[in-house]
A and B are shown apart, each in its own frame.
Chain A
Amino acid sequence: MANAFKDTVIRAWKSDFMWSFRRTPVAIASFVVALLLIMGAVLAPLIAPHNPFDPATLNLMNGFSAPMEPNQFTGETFWLGTDDQGRDVFSTILFGMRISLFVGFAAVAFAMTLGVTLGLIAGYVGGWVGALIMRIADVQLTFPGILVAMLIFGIAKGFTPIDQRDEMAIWVLIIAIGLSEWVQFARVVRGATMVEKNKEYVQAARLNGRRSAGIMLRHILPNVLGPVLVIATISLALAIIAEATLSFLGVGAPPTQPSLGTLIRIGQGFLFSGEWWIILFPSITLLALALSVNLLGDWLRDVLNPRLR
């Protein structure tokens, strides 16, 4: 068993995929950055010096501490400074990333499930069913994603009791962002499905009495996952940015559960009064996160399917 595992690892290491990875410094660098940021977010409760959501640990006296300088009242030092309420910026970034990444991953998962399912059906069944799905996709594309998100947000707000709105906000974000990104998945999967469905292995499965659903799931789906993985990665970067944009506009994550976008919104109020660190560090983090994921996606696309360019 251990040997088999070792063989697999060795084979994977020698594969074209890993070979290309080792030869692409950009891929390595963006992988390291993305991994560090994601680890930081996941392990936030363990590594963050403060808990920004626990009012008991906050000391208003610590407000507006500059980075790496002892606070003039309490003498405490914060790496990246504090905001107006004395929250440690480094800790808020770590916890903010958790929200951003959660929303990002969940939105992509939602978009992917929806898009892949509809794309498979549109490609395999074709006919008027396929035409209808793709027309809906076309209509979806004509609305800017942010507009759709704000619309859904507005409608959802009307239906939710006030005390649950903060909680609801995250889920609305996920659905809103997911809805604006499924089209990409559906289009690519439909194209790939139409190619695969005419291959003879699918005909062999058909004449052996497999049902359409079985053929789609067991035969076609594994063969169209390559491009889906690429789009998922690039969508993740887009989803993180979309989340930040919405939160910045005030229709996203609430201040009680601040994401990177919320932090930037809070910080922009202090931009002209000299407390630059409150907005700068969350912005850099957002940039690094989106860029590294995006570059990783670009590299994946080049390796898995050069023709997707």
Chain B
Amino acid sequence: MTAQSPKQAKSKNALVSVKHLTRDFDVSPPWLNRVLEGKKKAILQAVSDVSFEVAKNSVYALVGESGSGKSTIGKIVVGLLRPTSGTVEVGGVDLTHETDKTRIEETRVGIQMIFQDPYASLNPRWKVKDIIEEPVAARGRDVTGLAEKLLEQVGLSAADISKFPHEFSGGQRQRICIARALAAEPKLIVCDEPTSALDVSVQAQVLNLMSDLREEFGLTYLFISHDLTIVQHMADTIGVLYLGRLIEEAPRNELFDNPRHPYTQMLLEAAPKLDGFGREVEPPKGEIPDPINPPSGCAYHPRCPIAVERCKNERPEMKQRDKARVACFLAK
């Protein structure tokens, strides 16, 4: 683990600052169906009032199950989606409200992304050289020798530049994706489930590479994952999402040793353990509710073992509790 503690990372030291981020999706049936079948307009709030900060040179992990909005947040941060409301600040530039185009463009260059599926994230008709150089070439800058250098940095051979993606295995493709992300000399890399499509032995290689590169280039990662074991290994700070809301945020050890939110506790308990031989878990209650009609108050209350009347009516705010921030009325 690196030396800096993310707790001291208040504003000054933050590379990314997300404030009250909300994103709605219109998932209504087509207009004609609404008229004929009397269906209502349906809005899915994928991200709901999420605020967090990512300290420079740290790894911030967003964890959550399906429908938690973690990928949506990642896409908003890199600029693939626009927020419905709220702000995203990277390196002091408010990407949602800044009007100076060149400033936005300069900041955007420094934000890269590594995707989940190494098979879909490389254009099958492009040579590796063109793929890796794209972030630089697309902006019309010099790319001499760039691909060769980057390929060696990610543990491939410079001789691979004229090969096509299909000649590589899944792990090697993910290395190519990493090389492409590095080409723009980024400050921030958003990693959206970067190893969930990889086998365990290959996953270890890719995670190690990512750790090495972080040190070498002073990178900051926004790490999106559903896999708590990977997050425990990689992250400095962890934010837990449930149904589009941030419900707990804590430094890594704090979260795993002392989870405060009942949902976090359930997640940690339910995750299979390598030494859990014959472990009998009390299976968690219920399933993730329909995000189009989320429960009132605290979204977790229907499944929560300790919910009280207040949880049904009032949405808990994120409150500082010792080293963590928790959105629960009953958390200590």
Instruction: Write the residues of chain A forming the contact surface with B, with a CB cutoff of 8 angstroms.
Output: 199-201, 203-210, 214, 219, 222-223
Contacts and interface: CB of A to CB of B under 8 A. Distances in A.
Interface stretch (B11-19, B108-116, B324-332): B108-116
A207 B108 contact: yes
A3 to B, nearest CB: 15
A222 B111 CA distance: 27
Nearest to B122: A201
Nearest to A203: B80
B105 A223 contact: no
A204 B108 contact: no
A205 B136 CA distance: 11
15 contacts: A199-B120, A199-B121, A200-B117, A200-B121, A203-B80, A203-B121, A204-B180, A205-B138, A207-B79, A208-B139, A209-B105, A209-B109, A209-B138, A209-B139, A210-B134
Contacts of B139: 208-209
B143 to A, nearest CB: 13
A222 B165 CA distance: 15
A199 B122 CA distance: 9
Given A206-B80, A209-B138, A200 B124 contact: no
Nearest to A225: B125
Interface string B165-202: 00000000000010010001000000000000000000
B115 A209 contact: no
B108 A209 contact: yes
Contacts of B180: 204
Interface in B66-119: 75, 78-80, 105, 108-109, 111-113, 115-117
A205 B180 CA distance: 11
B123 interface: yes
Interface in B13-45: none
Given A200-B116, A203-B113, A203-B115, A210 B121 contact: no
Given A201-B120, A219-B123, A222-B123, 7 more contacts: A201-B123, A204-B113, A204-B115, A204-B177, A205-B138, A208-B135, A208-B139
Contacts of A203: 75, 80, 113, 115, 121
B41 to A, nearest CB: 18
A199 B119 CA distance: 9
Interface residues of B, number: 28
A5 to B, nearest CB: 15
When A and B form their complex, which 4 residue pairs have the shortest distance between CB atoms, in order from nearest?
Answer: A200-B121, A200-B115, A222-B125, A199-B120
Nearest to A198: B120
The DSSP consensus for interface residues of chain A is helix
Interface of B: 75, 78-80, 105, 108-109, 111-113, 115-117, 120-126, 131, 134-135, 138-139, 177, 180, 184
B93 to A, nearest CB: 15
A136 to B, nearest CB: 20
A206 B177 CA distance: 15
B125 A223 contact: yes
A205 B115 CA distance: 12
A59 B125 CA distance: 58
Contacts of A205: 123, 134, 138
A279 to B, nearest CB: 48
Nearest to B192: A200
Nearest to B79: A207
A204 B121 contact: yes
A201 B78 contact: no
A208 B123 CA distance: 14
A208 B109 CA distance: 7
Nearest to B118: A200
B70 to A, nearest CB: 16
Contacts of A222: 123, 125-126
Contacts of B112: 207
A155 B125 CA distance: 44
Nearest to B136: A208
Nearest to A220: B123
A207 B111 contact: yes
B115 A208 contact: no
B119 to A, nearest CB: 9
B112 to A, nearest CB: 8
Nearest to A222: B125
A203 B80 CA distance: 7
